[in-house]
Amino acid sequence: MPGADDAIDVTEIDELTPPNRTLMGPGPSDVHPRVLRAMSTPLVGHLDPSFVEIMDEVQELLRYTYRTDNQWTIPVSGTGSAAMEAAIGNVVEPGDTMLVPTNGYFGGRMASMARRAGGEVVEVDAPWGEPLEPADVSDALSKHDPDVFGFVHAETSTGVLQPSVPELTAAAHDHDALVIADTVTSIGGVELRVDDWDIDVAYAGPQKCLSCPPGASPLTLSDEAMEKVLSRDEDPRSWYLDLSLLEGYWGDERAYHHTAPITNVYAIREALRLVAEEGIEERWNRHERVAGALKAGVKEMGLEMNAPDEYWLPSLNAVRVPGGIDDGEVCSALLERYDLEIASGLGDLDGEIFRIGCMGHSARPANVIYVVTALGDVLESMGADVDPGAGVTATRRALEE
């Protein structure tokens, strides 16, 4: 490697030409061409009057997509993990107790962030690959009396969609706990109603069902949650993600706090415009239809879904790896032969599932036919007991219906 005083031959660094993949993993998803075009438009300053107008539009579009009237609805400058840390790091104060789930990888990340914020973490137990039971949540709330309850609406690591959300939030509010929802893999892809379901705080990433590059990540807080943030006795541990400071930039004042990622804000604005043009409920229905065809194909091929139908997550399909097959080799072969990305499992499901996304611009009939065809071919070539032709036929018929 060259050192600081060494010359670099720039001719050895080629023009950027990343491979043209079909992205059907757990994220990112394929980006809509209109979003890419929006990112190529000229920069303006982050306090320019024209950009302030764009900020207003993004906030209004986010409210529509989240189904909320929350005034405090913004794109956090950073990836989805930044929005997650902004939510937990501001709402959880030192000495607070946060109740978190054990049924997936991202419940564990909630716990880690709550501890870093100075909170005490308690758990409501559920096996990996199963949703939380309202009765178990109610029992845990009674036992621990937490200040904050967190749950994952769409668990990317297991392919499970949490049902009965209003029951969970009602139980939490009966114990005066604020509710934080991880909606990273649900926003814009499956039914999500922040206000009707009484969710206090929801965070997400843009790169999944919104089909937008990471960099400006959705976050919404109710008046009650924001009141807790603004009345803290101690400043949050992150200056950059301090919502009491960001309120000055994204609120009525529009005062300088940091230089926003202008191009990423352009991108999420266009991605959210696409959501509004399609209609949020039609977008939810499209994901269910197209992912349903994917599910029909993999099942008819001879594979098993990880989640039962009653809590199947259309935007992230967890498919069991056949016996005797190395999941990593399959993922590598799909990249090499087909320029197709899917992913292996995480945590307790490492090596046991494939994670196949069906999100946003990637949730198209041609893509699910392609992934079923390619996956069947690779698995058959590795000796798996599958019927690729039956899988493709089932997918096509489901799409025709």
User: Do 330 and 224 fall into the same domain?
Assistant: no
CATH of the domain at 81: 3.40.640.10
Which CATH number fits the domain that encloses residue 392?
3.90.1150.10
Average pLDDT over residues 371-388: 98
Distance CA 217, CA 58 (A): 11
In a domain, 105, yes or no: yes
In a domain? residue 95: yes
Give the sign of the dihedral formed by CA 64, CA 82, CA 86, CA 249: negative
CA distance 220 to 211: 19
Same domain? For 117 and 255 the reply is: yes
- Whole-angstrom distance, CA of residue 136 vs CA of residue 121: 16
Question: Is the same domain home to 343 and 230?
Answer: no
The pLDDT value recorded for residue 4 is: 62
In a domain, 13, yes or no: no
Tell me the residue range of the domain where 360 lies: 280-400
Same domain, yes or no: 273 and 348: no
Average pLDDT over residues 86-110: 97
Same domain, 265 and 286: no
**pLDDT value of residue 3:** 64
Q: Would you say the pTM of this structure is higher than 0.85?
A: yes
CB within 8 Å of 176: residues ≥ 6 apart: none
Within this chain, do residues 159 and 295 fall inside the same structural domain, yes or no? no
Are residues 114 and 222 part of one domain? yes
200, 70: one domain: yes
Residue 314's φ and ψ, nearest 5 degrees, are -55, -35
Residue 37 within any structural domain of the chain: yes
The pLDDT value recorded for residue 12 is 84
Q: Which of 333, 353, 12 is nearest to 343 (CA)?
A: 353
Taking only the tens place, the pLDDT of each residue in 66-79 is 999 999 999 999 99
> Do residues 134 and 234 both lie within one domain?
yes
Range of lowest pLDDT (1-10, 187-196, 222-231) = 1-10
Q: Say what angle helices 223-230 and 80-91 make with each other, to 10 degrees.
A: 70
3-state secondary structure of 295: helix
Q: How many CB atoms lie within 10 A of CB 221?
A: 30
Clarify whether residues 265 and 371 are in a common domain.
no
Mean model confidence pLDDT for the chain? 96
In a domain, 17, yes or no: no
| The total number of structural domains that make up the chain | 2
> Is the confidence at residue 1, as pLDDT, over 60?
no
Does the residue 2 lie in any domain? no
Q: Convert the pLDDT of each residue in 293-345 to its tens digit.
A: 999 999 999 999 999 999 999 999 999 999 999 999 999 999 999 999 999 99
